[in-house]
Structure 1
Amino acid sequence: MTDNSPRLTGVSPVLEVPFDPAGRVDVDSFHRVVAHVLGTGVDSVMFPGYASEFHKLTDDERVDLRDVLLATTSAHGVPAIISVPDHATVVAVRRAVDAAHAGAAAINLLPPHLLGPAPDAVRAHIGAVADAVAPLPVVLQVAPAQTGTSLDPAVVAALARRHPNLRYVKVEAVPPGPFITALGATDPALPAFVGYAGLHLPDALRRGAAGVQPGCSFTELYVAIWRHWHGGAVDEALALHTRMLPYVSYWMQGVELIVAAEKLISARRGLIDHPTCRDPARRLDAEEVTTVDRFLAEFADLLPPVR
């Protein structure tokens, strides 16, 4: 297996999966989401993550949507990071190898967490998947709030020494900053992507984060912040993030909450036809719907309707 992957950096949204009101996958809307996100100037995309409701997709749906994505990203020359969140090691290895052969630029690996596997079993799982796709890059996702899995920077660095294609870490520790700093001081130093909707993005940028992985319904705001910051307009980057913060901090009180909010944003903008989340799902109340509309009004200059 060869590795022709570019260095991963910058804004890398996690793509949502549109559903119709009956809960069926809306492939036409997914095409529209992919095309729009690629047109915003992102550096890569990731699928399927929590924002994709990966845990609510069938095996066939995951593969079919992955292949739609890879066909489009290949034509646009944008790297696609394919996530492997499967709990069983044998399944995760098969998924990762299949994604690599299908054309993934990298594998995002969510460590197993159901029923509290032992730390040595978690490390063995990570190593098995990394070795199976070597030399293709692996992004290790550290999301203790969602998974309960604890991997400190020293453990991650030790894994990277044993499995050199483990090259990146998606940090969703709260706060992520100290973790990012520690990764930069390990041997080898490991570039970090900050997740958690970019809630802590300014601190992550100060600490040298390689990128950010938010959702995809208002990608343009993250691209603007990234470009302001790296173009030397730090005050503009901070001002834009500060304007976003009241909204993002509320939505990030729960994964299902921000997924529902982002789906409604996407539907309001015309990215998807319906804001449906598959059950069981979080329902926005009237005030939360009003907040979404207030958000879109405030950022109308940067988030125009798509159609």
Structure 2
Amino acid sequence: MRGVSPVLEVPFTEDGAVDVAGFRRVVRYVLATGVTSVMFPGFASEFHKLDERERTELTGVLLAETGPREDVAAIVAVQDHATRLAVSRARAAVAAGADMINLLPPHFLAPTRRAVVAHVRAVLAAIAPTPVVLQYAPAETGTSLDGATIRVIAAEHPNLALIKVESSPPGALIAELAAAEPPLPAVEGYAGVQLPDAVRRGAVGTQPGCSFTEIYVELWRRFAAGDDEGGEELHRRLLPFISYWMLDTELIVAAEKLVSVRRGLFASACCREPCHRLDAEEVRMVDRFLAEFADLLPALD
């Protein structure tokens, strides 16, 4: 998992049903941008609004697309609060063909740090040697894990391969992990708001949403090629949009879905309630975004 690793969105029909064909198009579009890994389901996928049947079906669609390919990795996420359920889901995902597991630590009703660490260790042990990405998203979950604790877990469980750092700002923790012995690589999330700083501090990738993957691919290409000035310039163009949309998770989900609809990826920008409903100015903002980046975002219909 290096470079850009998008989190896949889930399109719904106007009546709120899962658009399976639309999701398949999402998968194929993202893979066609040249990324080497994708993740599902995450916050950008509205995972908390999917039932078990839907989640299983969509995961199957993803793995059917990635399974025959050696150039891409499917990262399947586990967000269950109960350790028993998280272990079971992680094992099932690996058996189904997942290349990596993304683990969101439990956070409902504020479990103790000791309980969170025990949960993470149990999942890591259950699926070793399959690599695991540990998602650290304190703003969304309230869970707090420091670098020292993460390093101890990684020393005991070599399949803890990456940390997805979504603290705000993420740079200090990314740098701390990169300076560990051995170094523990990190990827940056949070729509890439702090991407340039994360790259300077040692991030090995970024994990944004997926409706404008081409922009992130170009951003990463510039930074990886040593074109820091070009990367900073492109990020400055992007920042007014993503900094506003990331003020609320439901807001960026709604905005990204409208971007996908405008590009012709699927038919409806429906989000399952409760959700953020874009107002007229926010819709105009999406259209300004598409005009600003028309050079990088071709129509997909």
Interval containing the TM-score (normalised by the shorter chain): over 0.9
- Flag structure 2 segments of 5+ consecutive residues without an equivalent: none
Q: Letter of the aligned partner of 2:253 in structure 1?
A: V
Is structure 2 residue 216 aligned with structure 1 residue 227?
Answer: no
How many residues align structurally? Answer: 300
Aligned to 1:143: 137
Q: 1:273, CA displacement in angstroms?
A: 1.1
Aligned: 1:36 with 2:29 = yes
1:59 aligns with 2:58: no
Q: Distance in 2 between matches of 1:91 and 1:274?
A: 33
Partner Cα distance (1:114, 1:137) in 2: 25
1:200 equivalent in structure 2: 194
Q: Describe how 1:164-203 pairs up with structure 2 within 5 A.
A: 164-203=158-197
Alpha-carbon deviations, 1:6-32, whole Å to 9, x = none? xx2110000000000111000010011
Q: Per-residue displacement from partner, 1:168-187 (whole Å, max 9, x unpaired)?
A: 00000110000100011223
CA distance in 1, matches of 2:69, 2:48: 28
In 2, Cα distance between equivalents of 1:134 and 1:76: 22
Shift of 1:76: 3.4
Letter in 2 for 1:157: R
Task: Map Cα deviations across residues 64-118 of structure 1 (whole Å, 9 max, x no partner).
Answer: 1011101101233310110001111010000000001111111000000000011
CA distance in 1 between counterparts of 2:181 and 2:22 reads 43
User: Given the alignment, which residue of 92, 95, 113 partners 1:98?
Assistant: 92
Question: What do the CA deviations read for 1:220-254 (whole angstroms, capped 9, x no partner)?
Answer: 00000111111222211111111000000000000
CA contact (8 A) 1:89 1:125 kept: yes
Residue 130 of structure 2 aligns to which amino acid in structure 1? Answer: L
Name the CA distance, whole Å, in 2 between partners of 1:299 and 1:146.
29
- 1 CA distance for matches of 2:231 and 2:35? 16
Matched with 1:298 is: 292
The 8 Å contact of residues 153 and 186 in structure 1, kept in 2 or not, is answered as no
Q: Cα deviation per residue 1:131-177 (whole Å; 9 max; x = unaligned)?
A: 01100001000000000000011100011111111110000011000
CA distance in structure 2 between the aligned counterparts of 1:300 and 1:185, rounded to whole angstroms: 39
Map Cα deviations across residues 45-78 of structure 1 (whole Å, 9 max, x no partner): 0000000000000011111101110110123331
Question: Retained in 2: the 8 A contact 1:160–1:188?
Answer: no
1:274 match: 268
**1:243 maps onto 2:237 in alignment:** yes
2-structure distance, mates of 1:29, 1:129: 32
- Give the corresponding residue for 1:288: 282
**Structure 1 residue 117 and structure 2 residue 81: aligned?**
no
Runs of 4+ in structure 1 over 3 Å off: none
- Counterpart amino acid of 2:79? P
Structure 1 residue 188: Cα displacement: 3.2
Q: Given the two structures, how large is their TM-score scaled by the length of structure 1? A: 0.96
Q: Aligned partners of 1:64, 1:268: CA distance in 2, in Å?
A: 26
**What TM-score, normalized to structure 2?**
0.98
1:161 equivalent in structure 2: 155
In structure 2, the residue matched to 1:22 is 15
Q: How far, CA to CA, are the matches of 1:114 and 1:102 in structure 2? A: 28
Contact 1:109-1:140 at 8 Å conserved across structures: yes
Moved more, 78-87 or 230-239: 230-239
